[in-house]
Structure 1
Amino acid sequence: MQGIDFIAIDFETATGKRTSICEAGICVVKDSKVVETKSWLVRPEDNQYSFWNIQIHGIHPQDTEDAPEFPDVWNEIGQYLNDCPVLVAHNAAFDISCIRKSLEYYGLAHPDITYYCSLRAARHLYDFGCNKLDYLCDQFEIPYGTHHRAGDDANMCAQLFLREIKDAGWAELEEMDYCNGML
């Protein structure tokens, strides 16, 4: 398994709105190896938070009051996507909808990006009763930091996806047509 490049991505939101991104994380994989993990706090619209979302990720309004807004963070993420326009997310339906809704909200262009979903791959490959990211990482002894922090979750997703690729015997991402889409 060589030559596989992708960027695992994860978002945390301040409220139930997909445009309320308060943290973004990426994990860059080149030649089937994790080479960089990075995260950004993001100031959501009006810096408003739901009690329930804070309970999940532990990010508070005071943490993001001076953080950049989504367009600035997306511009940085875009620099990585220029080199590798392939995203992977665990439950990509959520993360990709965060991107789509935020791009629309801020009037930003939709880039041509292929994405894959490690959750859909797990459901296809394994017979676990649970397919949550932390559960799967525990099953495969994939070490991780703080679950529901974007950088750590992106890293977990990248490592899980590499495991899925290995277990499925894929040589190229294109073989995974049942768990991909276009942004």
Structure 2
Amino acid sequence: MDSFTAIDFETATGYRNSICQVGLVQIKNGIVIQEVDFLVQPPDNYYWNRFTDIHGIAAKDTLNSPTFDQIWQHIAPYIENQNVVAHNGFGFDFPVLDKTLLHYGLTIPNYNKFCTYKIYRSNLATLCEEHDIPLNHHDALSDARACGELWLKWLKI
């Protein structure tokens, strides 16, 4: 696989349609060629305190941010018909994307899904420490970068 996008989402609540940050890292031939980082206003700009405690993003941070349907056109090319990797993707990121797209009446794209958690069977922070990968955990872009590095290590690129 010579090209893939590593993704990560942070959510404002336990509802899977409440994306508040998107991180995408596009990698070709083992080299990062593009990074995308968006703060996103979740539905009604509503947050659960315990989620803000985890990632540090609060309603005041996304008050003037675009909603997911307003940024989808910018991130869709990194996902549609692409190889997409996420850490715990099948348990979190892929369902979050689907539920958010459905919430806004957008079509769920076709893409190839891969999960580094299924390979390594450990949490992201522990893996980053073991593999000496920099991580600002629960920052979507940092988590996506780390996931991309883990995938490259697995591919042995």
Q: TM-score range, shorter-chain basis? A: over 0.9
Q: TM-score, normalised by structure 2?
A: 0.94
Asked if 1:16 is matched to 2:14, the reply is yes
Counterpart residue number, 1:59: 57
Secondary structure, aligned partner of 2:99: helix
Distance 1:157 1:74 in 2: 21
Asked if 1:159 is matched to 2:149, the reply is yes
Distance 1:117 1:81 in 2: 14
Secondary structure, aligned partner of 2:143: helix
> Which runs of no fewer than 5 residues in structure 2 stay unpaired?
none
Matches within 5 A, 1:4-153: 4-81=2-79, 85-93=82-90, 94-123=92-121, 131-144=122-135, 146-153=136-143
Instruction: After superposition, give the CA deviation of every residue in 1:47-89 in whole Å (9 maximum; x if it has no partner).
Output: 010011001000010100110101122211113335x611100
Instruction: After superposition, give the CA deviation of every residue in 1:125-152 in whole Å (9 maximum; x if it has no partner).
Output: xxxxxx11111011011123x2101011
Question: Counterpart of 1:47 in structure 2: which amino acid?
Answer: N
Distance 1:13 1:98 in 2: 8
Instruction: After superposition, give the CA deviation of every residue in 1:151-176 in whole Å (9 maximum; x if it has no partner).
Output: 1110010001111122xxxx9xxxxx
Secondary structure, aligned partner of 1:26: strand
Secondary structure, aligned partner of 1:77: helix
Distance 2:145 2:131 in 1: 14
Question: Counterpart of 2:152 in structure 1: which amino acid?
Answer: L
Counterpart residue number, 1:175: none
- Choose 1 or 2 for highest CA Rg: 1
Distance 1:140 1:4 in 2: 22
Query: What percentage of aligned pairs have identical amino acids?
Result: 40
Question: Counterpart of 2:84 in structure 1: which amino acid?
Answer: L
Aligned length: 156
Distance 2:127 2:60 in 1: 32
Q: TM-score, normalised by structure 1?
A: 0.81
> Which ranges of 4 or more aligned residues in structure 1 deviate by more than 3 Å?
none
CA RMSD after TM alignment: 1.4
Secondary structure, aligned partner of 2:37: strand
